[in-house]
Chain A
């Protein structure tokens, strides 16, 4: 009887054989630029994590007192802007392709949940700025949180709690979800374009 490690390895290789995990060719329809935005989102995420790690090492007030800190803070902010920009274009592209077709429901769902988790991940950054802007946002946000009934558990006036969410808990969730999303994409393959015949009224439908 094989051990759980062997079973796990065999299941992993069955689901994602090396040629599927790291393919060296893709279908012809992937030459459209709309297919770039998933990879661009990942690129922005890598920049966010790298710049955020430097900011975390130096502490939340560093960017106020040193120009190099301000530089990395700006890199962090603008990579987040690009992350959401690319992610929204990616989402629009996949929505209009109906990318959940062909057993890809989990691919679509992990992408949608990633978007939902990334929003509070970014918002907790705005209240970690250590300036009047973050104070203003936190005092406005607390009313929103209280109206939802979650103010006691998610207290936006508690800097330590929000900072922990921003630099640890939510980034781990985003990276884990993105990793799962990519593995599912590799497992199921890139969604093909919608059949042309179905979209033209009166056109012949091929089986």
Chain B
């Protein structure tokens, strides 16, 4: 029973059980999942430029 509730909760967040949606603009065509991954890469790259590596302070890095 507990497993079913958890399964339903997780499954209800994003329903992936269908073909991907596509973004089309003139010659440009890309699936939404691919666009999400590319946007995430930009976000992570931008964040990494400003964030300090974990444990850097302990290792005596610049404050």
Contact = CB atoms under 8 A, between A and B. Distances in A.
Interface of A: 25, 28, 30-37, 81, 85, 88-89, 92-93
Contacts of B49: 32-34
Contacts of B51: 32-33
Contacts of A88: 41
13 contacts: A28-B61, A31-B62, A33-B47, A33-B49, A36-B48, A36-B53, A81-B37, A85-B40, A85-B44, A88-B41, A89-B44, A89-B48, A93-B48
Contact of A35 (B45, B47, B53): B53
A31 B45 CA distance: 15
Band of interface residues on B: 10 to 19
A32 B55 CA distance: 11
B59 A31 contact: yes
Nearest to B44: A89
Given A34-B49, A37-B48, A89 B41 contact: yes
Contact of A31 (B37, B41, B52): B52
Given A28-B61, A34-B49, 15 more contacts: A28-B62, A30-B61, A31-B52, A31-B56, A31-B62, A32-B49, A33-B47, A33-B49, A33-B51, A33-B52, A34-B48, A85-B40, A85-B44, A89-B44, A92-B41
Interface string B29-63: 00000000100110011011101110010010110
B48 A33 contact: yes
A88 B38 CA distance: 10
A29 B51 CA distance: 12
